[in-house]
C-alpha cells in the first residue's frame, strides 16, 4: 500500500508541477507557451505518468477517477480515502514549489477559473470528465491504467478535452488539479465546481461503460 500511495503522490506531483507550471510560465512570459502548448503538456505528462506508475498504483492521479473505479466495482473502498489524500498532497506540494519558483504568480498558480457563467463551466466539466473517464475505463485493466495503448489514449484525451474546455472552465477534470492551486494561492472561488463536476462526470461514465463493456472485476 505504501508503494501505491507514494506512486499517487509522485504521479500527481508530476502532473500538477508540469501542467500548472506550463500555465504559470505562459503567464509570466506573456504567452510563450500558448493554449495549444499547455494542452499538449498536460496530455504528455499524463501519458508519462500512466506509463511510469500504472503498474504500481494504477496511475489514477485524480480523485474522480479513483471514485469512479470504486463505483465500477474495480477498486476497494478502503483504499479510496488514502488515494485521494495522496493525490491532494502531491498536488499541493507541486503548487507550493511553483509558488516558491514564481512568487509573482502567487495569486493563481495555474488555477482553474470560471469564464462566463458558473453553470456553463459546471456542465462543461461534467461533460469532458465523463468522456475522459469513459476512455479510461475502456482502455484500463481492472483499476489500473496500464497497457501499450492506455497511456497514449488517455494522454490524447486529456490534451484534446483541454483544448475544448480550457478557455471556458480551465478543463480541470480532476479535483486534485484544482485543489492544489486553490489551497496554496488561497483563491477558493468556485472551487466546488471543480470538486463536484468531475466526480459527477466520472461517475456517469461507469454505467455507460458497463453497458458497452460489461461489468469488470478488480
Cα distance from N-terminal residue to C-terminal residue, the chain: 16
Burial environment of residue 2 by CB neighbours within 10 A (0 to 12, 13 to 18, 19 or more): exposed
Pick out the chain residues at pLDDT < 70: 106, 214-218
**Which pLDDT belongs to residue 124?**
97
**Domain locations in the chain as residue ranges:** 2-213
Cα 26 from Cα 95, distance rounded (Å): 15
Q: Extract the C-alpha cell encoding 169.
A: 472552465
**Which pLDDT belongs to residue 21?**
95
pTM: 0.93
Strand partners for 144: 141
Using alpha carbons, select from 173, 131, 176, 164 the residue that is nearest to residue 36. Answer: 164
**Which pLDDT belongs to residue 143?**
72
Cα 216 from Cα 17, distance rounded (Å): 33
**Which pLDDT belongs to residue 217?**
56
CATH of domain 2-213: 1.20.1080.10
Amino acid at each position: 500500500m505504501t508503494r501505491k500511495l507514494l506512486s499517487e503522490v509522485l504521479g500527481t506531483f508530476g502532473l500538477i508541477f508540469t501542467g500548472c507550471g506550463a500555465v504559470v510560465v505562459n503567464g509570466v512570459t506573456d504567452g510563450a507557451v500558448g493554449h495549444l502548448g499547455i494542452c499538449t503538456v498536460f496530455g504528455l505528462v499524463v501519458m508519462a505518468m500512466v506509463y511510469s506508475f500504472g503498474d504500481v498504483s494504477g496511475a489514477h492521479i485524480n480523485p474522480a477517477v479513483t471514485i469512479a473505479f470504486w463505483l465500477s466495482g474495480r477498486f476497494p473502498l478502503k483504499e479510496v480515502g488514502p488515494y485521494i489524500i495522496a493525490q491532494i498532497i502531491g498536488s499541493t506540494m507541486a503548487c507550493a514549489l511553483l509558488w516558491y519558483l514564481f512568487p509573482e504568480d502567487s495569486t493563481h498558480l495555474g488555477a482553474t477559473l470560471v469564464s462566463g457563467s458558473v453553470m456553463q463551466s459546471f456542465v462543461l466539466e461534467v461533460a469532458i470528465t465523463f468522456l475522459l473517464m469513459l476512455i479510461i475505463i475502456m482502455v484500463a485493466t481492472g483499476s489500473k491504467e496500464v497497457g501499450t495503448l492506455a497511456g497514449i489514449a488517455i494522454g490524447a484525451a486529456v490534451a484534446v478535452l483541454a483544448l475544448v474546455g480550457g478557455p471556458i472552465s480551465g478543463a480541470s477534470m480532476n479535483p486534485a488539479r484544482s485543489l492544489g492551486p486553490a489551497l496554496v494561492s488561497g483563491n477558493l472561488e468556485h472551487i466546488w465546481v471543480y470538486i463536484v463536476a468531475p466526480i459527477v462526470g466520472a461517475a456517469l461514465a461507469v454505467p455507460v461503460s458497463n453497458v458497452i463493456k460489461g461489468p469488470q472485476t478488480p
